[in-house]
Structure 1
Amino acid sequence: MKETETQQTLTYTEEDIQVLEGLIAVRKRPGMYIGSTGSRGLHHLLWEIVDNAKDEALAGVNDSIIVTLYKDGSVSVEDHGRGIPTGMHKTGRPVPEVIFTTLHAGGKFGGGGYKKSGGLHGVGSSVVVALSKWLEVEIHREGKIHKQRFEYVVDANGTEHVGKPVTGLEITGNTKRTGTTVRFLPDDAVFGHARFDYETIRDRFRETAFLLKKLRMVLIDERGPEKKREEFYFEDGLKSYVSYLNEGKNALHPIVYFEGEKDNIYVELAFQYNDGYAETLVSYVNSIVTTDGGTHVTGFRNGTTRIFNEFARKKGYLKEKDPNLTGNDLREGFLGVLSLQMADVQFESQTKDKLGNEEARAIVEQIVSEKLGFFLEENPEIGKLLIDKALRSAEIREELRKQREALRGDKKGKTAKKRKSISEKFTPPQYRDSKRNELFLVEGDSAGGSAKQARNSEFQALFSLRGKPLNTEKAKLSEVLANEEFRTILEVLETDIGEEFSIENCAFDKVIIMSDADVDGSHIQTLLLTFFFRYMRPMIAAGHLYIAQPPLYQVKKQSKGKQTEAMYCWSDYELEQALKKVGRNAEVQRYKGLGEMNADQLWETTMDPETRKLIKVELEDLAHCEKLVTVLMGDKVPPRREWIENHVTFEVGEDE
């Protein structure tokens, strides 16, 4: 950021802290504030504190964030920012006490403390306190070290005190630096046995260091027999990010990077084309990922489409009679990162997935148009390469249109053959209800047979997969449409694909991948997920794709002449707890495939909406998904082997 933009950071005082409302019973309804009480919710607590430190970096006053994971399950976040103000608030309490015990108290409402932040996420400090056994804050400011501790306390009368200050704000020493350190212990009464995941935090830190260049992100893990420490620091910011995401792909040219600023909106873009067929744009506002895009992405697409077409006509690659190249043609194989920093961010939802500021569209379009136009003039050989790629994409559109016509069965004589092909693999539900019906994509005929008996035929449909599906990471769209398995899935879903995709036409509310808990089953899952990620991503974004979770174990107590109720376990931890409960003479059955369960068991454990476990497939981290799909399904074998060796297990995790 420019030096002039950091001058406002000198004024961060007690007057900048505003209180919107009193603390409510966060502990009673944690899902309202952190989404869940599983692994994702646990990590949300950490992100709340880390995001405050990131906002100090956005303000230009913090160069480091250090997170440490401790053996007792607690975690600390240290920054080198200005330090939380330590004076008295107008409510008569010390400012840190107000921040950590009052919901929606923070320095991001009036605009005095922060010009740029990720919305209001910094006000979640009190939520962290409410869901922790204890929290300690240490503040280095104005030459003094201040400390305060908060705890969850149940008094002698059984009354709960959430986030009770058990000490005042105490001065414990002198200091020559500034900054804030927050350490807290999440309450296992809320989160069960969920624990902080090193790799989840590491991935988030790497992403942050890419976005906020010259910010040092340090992760320390003291929980194992040997201390682990990783540090992320990228001088080249987004250029390094694109290089990281494009590893394993065949790049067509060096990374392109440019930046610009207008009306206090700072725009960065880095991109590189590869020889693939998918478009990947990861977008951010104030380091918050905008999964659903927004006005800044619209501006980017408008600008790139217009400038590429102007370049193609100027150079004679498009004749006067030729139609313009479409944005989809021009962005085939595109991989880029777009990042904005701006004040007064307006998101279109509480989840901050989509930017709504209209002024961002025009400014991004203007900056991208100017910078890209200049780049193409200076690098005409790269421009020609990309236009040639777009022209090849346009040439096959007619072929795809013809294949779509065949897919819809519009040609005479094809319909009967098509319907026979569908009926061999597809078992439809009795009623057509797109808001209720479920489609199970089932591995193999034997499992399909059990599932057919187990399902509720009113609203559950089955599609039996024959063999392993096509690896769509390495396939053109025309090859995907020519593949019998995927053609039939598309006919059943009724959504079409690519430019013609329509989520409104989807015949099912849920599409559920159901496969064995073994290597082959995981491979089939990955192939199907790759297909949906590359060619039907809106289905994931709309929350329609799920993975079924059949149990790994059945536990019964052996008893002569007595029937004992079976207990099902989805992880080794649950098996351990079940064995403790059953005690002696426990009988354990390990399920290796869906076909090993009878229809009643399959219904009860995997298909009954009242008792089953499903994992909802989400695009919370598009960049991580992009990287993972490339590693698992791309051409490079060594990174895939390394990932599988380090990650593959067949337990159901804690996520929802």
Structure 2
Amino acid sequence: MSHNYTSSSIKVLRGLEAVKKRPGMYIGDTDDGTGLHHMIFEVVDNSIDEALAGFCKSIKVTIHDDRSISVEDDGRGIPVDIHEEEGVSAAEVIMTVLHAGEKDKISVEIALQWNDGFQENIYCFTNNIPQKDGGSHLIGFRSAITRTLNSYMDREGYNKKSKVITTGEDAREGLVAIVSVKISDPKFSSQTKDKLVSSEVKTAVESLMNEKFFSFLLENPKDAKTIVNKVLDAARVREAAKKIREMTRKKSALEIVGLPGKLASCQETNPSLCELYLVEGDSAGGSAKQGRNRKNQAILPLK
């Protein structure tokens, strides 16, 4: 390693040179085959774009005996005339120049359904390409679900009646959803497109979801009640589980300091608000338990 660190030490990788030098940053692992698969996906994506634009009805992918792959569609085809800036055919520009493509607007499609399960399953796509790590469209969707349900529950008085505080996890329990956005100039965290980072997509998804989902809840009160009751049940179960964990920790702490198992604990978890009464014998302990305030008074028989 050279001890002289100057501007001459900085090397600039231009064009495809960067891809060749650091392929993992652009196409994924080149050792396990995922890099090759990703390059095929890029070509297939061009055909899918044609189909989404309404110019293509058939896409054919063929794996040949010599292990090569060809992709065909009945769309407009890739332009082959000379690109004015690059001086080569448009087909070569599309396939070999980074960030080359057409520009347009955002469209959002969402499908969702709750079931009797407890697992959250949300699948995100950008231009029909799946993002296993989610991204801005997932963030916008989750935020909208929580905000819209809270607004509806406040409006209809569910929160006051139930006396429980719901969270985003409660709202998404048992939810299966597909969030699909189509955007001409998406930004991803890497060339493998596992996570969408286009900030404008979050706003678009959140705005659409807030408007359409709230309208659905107002127009379908029976379905809305079913959804809200499931969310409230999830919140009650979560709070009950939290209390059980707190009681378990509390009992464990009492065992550590050597307090006997006859202690009748109270519900309050803040020690400064609790009262501990020491009584002589189990008989006195039984009477004290009946007359105590369970909220903050604990009873400990000494014998």
TM-score when scaled to structure 1?
0.33
How many Å separate the matches in 1 of 2:138 and 2:215?
A: 20
* Distance verdict in 2 for CA 1:27–1:304, change over 3 Å: closer
| Deviation string, structure 1 residues 412-465 (Cα, Å, up to 9, x no partner) | 25669xxxxxxxxxxxxxxxxxxxxxxxxxxxxxxxxxxxxxxxxxxxxxxxxx
Seq. identity, %: 44
* Distance verdict in 2 for CA 1:283–1:33, change over 3 Å: closer
* Distance verdict in 2 for CA 1:311–1:22, change over 3 Å: closer
**Does residue 81 of the first structure (1) align with residue 69 of the second (2)?**
no
Task: Work out which of the residue numbers 165, 174, 188 in structure 2 matches 1:347.
Answer: 188
Please say if residues 293 and 354 of structure 1, whose CA atoms lie closer than 8 Å, have aligned partners that are also in contact: yes
Aligned counterparts, 1:507-518, within 5 A: none
Please say if residues 25 and 191 of structure 2, whose CA atoms lie closer than 8 Å, have aligned partners that are also in contact: no
Which one-letter code corresponds to 2:79 in the other structure? P
Partner of 1:42: 36
Task: Work out which of the residue numbers 7, 17, 24 in structure 2 matches 1:24.
Answer: 17
How many Å separate the matches in 1 of 2:248 and 2:37?
A: 44
Partner of 2:175: 334
How many Å separate the matches in 1 of 2:255 and 2:49?
A: 60
Query: Match of 2:31, SS?
Result: coil
How many Å separate the matches in 2 of 1:294 and 1:27?
A: 27
| Deviation string, structure 1 residues 41-61 (Cα, Å, up to 9, x no partner) | 332232121122222234432
Partner of 1:289: 130
| Deviation string, structure 1 residues 345-380 (Cα, Å, up to 9, x no partner) | 333444433333333333322211221122112221
**Does residue 372 of the first structure (1) align with residue 213 of the second (2)?**
yes
Aligned counterparts, 1:209-248, within 5 A: none
Query: Match of 1:318, SS?
Result: helix
| Deviation string, structure 1 residues 264-286 (Cα, Å, up to 9, x no partner) | 43211101111110111111222
Task: Work out which of the residue numbers 303, 317, 323 in structure 1 matches 2:144.
Answer: 303
* Distance verdict in 2 for CA 1:307–1:70, change over 3 Å: same
Please say if residues 409 and 415 of structure 1, whose CA atoms lie closer than 8 Å, have aligned partners that are also in contact: no
How many Å separate the matches in 2 of 1:28 and 1:363?
A: 37
How many Å separate the matches in 2 of 1:398 and 1:289?
A: 35
Q: Greater share of helix residues, 1 or 2? A: 2
Partner of 1:67: 61
* Distance verdict in 2 for CA 1:44–1:315, change over 3 Å: same
Partner of 1:115: 103
| Deviation string, structure 1 residues 548-581 (Cα, Å, up to 9, x no partner) | xxxxxxxxxxxxxxxxxxxxxxxxxxxxxxxxxx
The two structures, once aligned, show a CA RMSD in angstroms of 3.2
How far residue 26 of structure 1 moved from its aligned partner, in angstroms, is 5.9
Aligned counterparts, 1:81-230, within 5 A: 81-90=75-84, 92-97=87-92, 103-104=96-97, 107-108=100-101, 114-116=102-104
Aligned counterparts, 1:442-521, within 5 A: none
How many Å separate the matches in 2 of 1:271 and 1:79?
A: 31
Query: Match of 1:339, SS?
Result: strand
Task: Work out which of the residue numbers 211, 218, 223 in structure 2 matches 1:382.
Answer: 223
How far residue 93 of structure 1 moved from its aligned partner, in angstroms, is 4.3
How many Å separate the matches in 2 of 1:372 and 1:83?
A: 39
Which one-letter code corresponds to 1:47 in the other structure? F
Which one-letter code corresponds to 2:67 in the other structure? G
Query: Match of 1:271, SS?
Result: strand
**Does residue 315 of the first structure (1) align with residue 156 of the second (2)?**
yes
Partner of 1:280: 121
How many Å separate the matches in 1 of 2:54 and 2:89?
A: 26
Tell me whether 296-305 or 391-400 shows the greater mean CA deviation.
296-305
How many Å separate the matches in 1 of 2:211 and 2:88?
A: 52
Gap regions ≥5 residues in structure 1:
1-19, 109-113, 117-263, 417-656
Which one-letter code corresponds to 2:69 in the other structure? V
* Distance verdict in 2 for CA 1:385–1:406, change over 3 Å: same
Tell me whether 81-90 or 345-354 shows the greater mean CA deviation.
345-354
| Deviation string, structure 1 residues 176-209 (Cα, Å, up to 9, x no partner) | xxxxxxxxxxxxxxxxxxxxxxxxxxxxxxxxxx
Please say if residues 62 and 70 of structure 2, whose CA atoms lie closer than 8 Å, have aligned partners that are also in contact: yes
How many Å separate the matches in 1 of 2:18 and 2:238?
A: 56
Partner of 1:440: none
How many Å separate the matches in 2 of 1:29 and 1:82?
A: 33
Gap regions ≥5 residues in structure 2:
1-12, 258-303
Partner of 2:47: 53
Partner of 1:475: none
How far residue 337 of structure 1 moved from its aligned partner, in angstroms, is 0.4
Please say if residues 325 and 390 of structure 1, whose CA atoms lie closer than 8 Å, have aligned partners that are also in contact: yes
How many Å separate the matches in 1 of 2:162 and 2:94?
A: 64
* Distance verdict in 2 for CA 1:46–1:414, change over 3 Å: farther
**Does residue 325 of the first structure (1) align with residue 172 of the second (2)?**
no
Query: Match of 2:252, SS?
Result: coil
Which one-letter code corresponds to 2:43 in the other structure? I
* Distance verdict in 2 for CA 1:270–1:70, change over 3 Å: same
How many Å separate the matches in 2 of 1:341 and 1:315?
A: 35
Please say if residues 405 and 411 of structure 1, whose CA atoms lie closer than 8 Å, have aligned partners that are also in contact: no
Partner of 1:400: 241
How many Å separate the matches in 2 of 1:359 and 1:106?
A: 18
How many Å separate the matches in 2 of 1:344 and 1:87?
A: 23
* Distance verdict in 2 for CA 1:283–1:31, change over 3 Å: closer
Please say if residues 59 and 115 of structure 1, whose CA atoms lie closer than 8 Å, have aligned partners that are also in contact: no
* Distance verdict in 2 for CA 1:290–1:27, change over 3 Å: closer
Larger RCO: 1 or 2 (CA < 8 Å, sep 6+):
2
Please say if residues 139 and 202 of structure 2, whose CA atoms lie closer than 8 Å, have aligned partners that are also in contact: yes
Task: Work out which of the residue numbers 105, 108, 130 in structure 2 matches 1:267.
Answer: 108
How many Å separate the matches in 2 of 1:26 and 1:41?
A: 11
Aligned counterparts, 1:527-606, within 5 A: none
Which one-letter code corresponds to 1:363 in the other structure? A
* Distance verdict in 2 for CA 1:99–1:384, change over 3 Å: closer
How many Å separate the matches in 1 of 2:98 and 2:253?
A: 67
Please say if residues 30 and 37 of structure 1, whose CA atoms lie closer than 8 Å, have aligned partners that are also in contact: no
How many Å separate the matches in 1 of 2:183 and 2:92?
A: 30
What is the aligned residue count? 243
